[in-house]
A and B are shown apart, each in its own frame.
Chain A
Amino acid sequence: MPDERFNNLIKKKLESVQPPYKEEAWKNFNKLLPAPWYVNVFHQYRNWIYGGIGGVVVTVISILYFQQNQENQQLHETIATLKKEVTEQYNKQKPAADKESVIIADSIRKNAETNQIQTPTAGTVFHVNKETANPVKNSNNQDIEQEKQNQSLKIPTPEKNISATTVNRSAENKRKASSFGRDEAGKQKPSGNIASINRNKTVSDNVDLNQVDSVLTDNNSRNKTLPDLTKTERANSVIKTDSAKQKQSQNLALARQDTTSAGNNMTPDSASVNNSKELPKAERKLQFSGLQARVGVNLNLGGLNKLAFGPNIELLIGQHWSIGAGLNISRPEEERHHDTHAFNLAKGKRFEDMYHVWLRPDDKIEEIDLKTTVLQLPLSVNYYLPIKGKFSLLFTGGTTLDLTVNQQVNFERTPPGGGAERYKFNADPHTYTINNVLYGMGIQYQNKRVVGQITPYYIYQFVNPEYYNPASKIGVNASLKFNLRRAGN
């Protein structure tokens, strides 16, 4: 009976012990809870899921690559066609050389009409074009204006005719133009100077055929005075045109530049010419937009004590973006726990549960050593911001997938009868493939095709695999890469 009273008192006392609830207790317990159903599904079908994702990525990249190639090919074909058209147009426009002769003849006629002994200057010759095409500042402008005024006083102004002229090169024009350079008897003059002008002509001479033809038409009204010119005057004109040849070609080049901006006045021919002029630039641009790749080695110092290294590849998309992938193998990470209790506290999981396959039920376990090696697949998206010279800022975001984990467990076990011994085995712990995301900002140095990068990063682990030590949240990533293609090639 006294025992019963003792028992009741003890029971009453012990049952009244009710430790208060602690939030920390739930946090610890929450780590042990099984993952939600979708995580289980993911783990169950992860091989299929990874395969699917990989397949989609490869397919998308292939499609993009082939599309890019196709686009490049089409553009090259377009460029080739344009080049061909330009060449054809140029060949067609060769007879327009005669127009130049007519223009010069016009100048000669004007000189004759104004009874000025002065020979036509280069400015005069070019004035015909410039006046109607684009105004280019010329030192002779004032003289030209003066000359125009003189013309308007002495002969009927041809402006009306010019404005009324059409683009068509009439047969009459051609005839009249071809008649220039023959003497009164109809003999063909050598006219070597004029020929040399023609040789100097560039494709841009056709910049404004309308204007040239206007002048040609304008000549129609004036050519009737041509036979009145004396031989001396004509000879002078021809001789002077020889000296004006070079200036004319320079001025024509200036006019060519002006026509680039004078879009409204551009004929299809001149547009073709402009295209042909910009061809090299277009080609360069296309090549820059192509995919480029870098390969190299990567050294990762995770948590400032976990070292991993391996090969790395980076695909550049455009000039600023890239996708990186690699394969890192970590150096064996060692940890030691005095006994299972210390292990359980450190890991949040029971040693006996994790390695029950290798344990005997009654053994006492002490001095636990673990060596863990992880094979990782780092994936990242990078953005480069050039800062100065060969340096660029590098912004990166991504994850490190754990592919396989190898763990060597070594501990001392003591059976109930005594006789401690060391026991070692290779465990295959459950691999948490997706367990983190990381963000970083670093710097890149590029010298020709060699690239060096160093990137401190912050890592957030949303799952804490038991094969990791409590990880630090920062790390440093260093890479040395080699560009497979030359920039601009």
Chain B
Amino acid sequence: MFFRKNSKTFNLEEVLDGCLHGKPSAQKRLYEQYYSFAKGICLRYAANPEEAEEMVNDGFLKVLSKLHYYDHTQVFDAWFRTLMVRTSIDYFRRNHAKLLVIDIQEAHEVKYDDELLEKLSADEILELVQKLPPAYRAVFSLYIVEGYSHAEISELLGINEGTSRSNLAKARLKMQEWIKQLCSEKIVQVNHARRAV
């Protein structure tokens, strides 16, 4: 995968074997290789980078401790991704379960154009996702990015399917509202900059 570091010299089987035998050098190589991938996943469930870092560490610990369960006939990346998502959800449930009840207030349907979304960078979109309340953020990421169904989400988060659907809808509306708002602000800023020039 493109995010990997030193992919040419990285021998996954060898590294996994080393990790199974508890070799620190192999553990480090795996960490180096999959850190960016893991952090990218965790950032979507975390409220900030520090929280994402904790999720990453928890996820890697889980990977190393459950490596002997990994079926070598399957794709490692998929197994790794699933484990990371599960770890993020566990973290979310542990720390933000009480926030499940918090609702999005005043989610209005706005006139939205997808062209606006393309004007924003990935980091800006991520910041908006992180602004969502935890329960909405989790449903939003699980459904849209990971591709889980509402049934699976309801099981993972311990909520009703209806709640999951509702949360997703509200989160989507909120995101569209913020995207439009952000784009407007950017346009204003650009106009100001032009006038200044």
Give residues 14-33 of A contacting B (CB, 8 Å): 14-22, 25-26, 28-30, 32-33
Q: Do A416 and B118 touch across chains, with their CB atoms under 8 A apart? A: no
Q: Do A21 and B32 touch across chains, with their CB atoms under 8 A apart? A: yes
Q: What total count of A-B pairs have CB within 8 Å?
A: 99
Q: Do B54 and A350 touch across chains, with their CB atoms under 8 A apart? A: yes
A28-B57, A341-B50 are known contacts. Are A21 and B125 too (CB-CB below 8 A)? Answer: no
Q: Which residues on the B side are within 8 Å of A340 (C-beta)?
A: 95
Q: Which residues on the A side are within 8 Å of B95 (C-beta)?
A: 340, 352
A7-B144, A26-B32, A345-B50 are known contacts. Are A17 and B122 too (CB-CB below 8 A)? Answer: yes
Give residues 78-99 of B contacting A (CB, 8 Å): 94-95, 97-98
Q: Which residues on the A side are within 8 Å of B118 (C-beta)?
A: 9
Q: Do B97 and A17 touch across chains, with their CB atoms under 8 A apart? A: no
Give bound CA distance, A22 to B57, whole Å: 13
Residue with the highest number of chain B CB atoms closer than 10 Å, among A15, A19, A30, A352: A19
Give bound CA distance, A28 to B44, whole Å: 21
Q: Which residues on the B side are within 8 Å of A21 (C-beta)?
A: 5, 32, 35-36
**Interface size class of chain A, counting residues whose CB lies under 8 Å from the partner chain:** 35 or more
Q: Do A14 and B129 touch across chains, with their CB atoms under 8 A apart? A: yes
Main secondary structure of the interface of A (DSSP, over half): helix
Q: Do B57 and A32 touch across chains, with their CB atoms under 8 A apart? A: yes
B85 to chain A, nearest CB (A): 13
Number of B residues with CB within 8 Å of any CB on chain A: 47
A13-B125, A16-B122, A352-B94 are known contacts. Are A37 and B22 too (CB-CB below 8 A)? Answer: yes
Cβ-based interface call for A6 (8 A): yes
Q: Do B144 and A11 touch across chains, with their CB atoms under 8 A apart? A: yes
Give bound CA distance, A361 to B43, whole Å: 23
Give bound CA distance, A25 to B53, whole Å: 8
Q: Which residue of A lies closest to B117 (CB)?
A: A9
Q: List 22 A-B contacts (CB under 8 A).
A: A14-B44, A14-B122, A14-B125, A14-B129, A15-B40, A15-B145, A17-B126, A19-B39, A19-B43, A21-B5, A25-B31, A28-B53, A28-B57, A29-B57, A30-B28, A33-B61, A33-B64, A36-B24, A345-B50, A352-B94, A361-B94, A416-B101
- Name 20 extra pairs, CB < 8 A, besides A6-B117, A19-B43, A26-B28: A2-B114, A6-B172, A10-B144, A10-B175, A13-B117, A13-B120, A13-B121, A18-B3, A18-B40, A19-B49, A20-B36, A21-B36, A22-B35, A25-B35, A25-B56, A26-B35, A29-B60, A30-B28, A33-B27, A416-B101
A positions within 8 Å CB-CB of B: 2-3, 5-7, 9-11, 13-22, 25-26, 28-30, 32-33, 36-37, 340-341, 344-345, 350, 352, 361-362, 364, 416
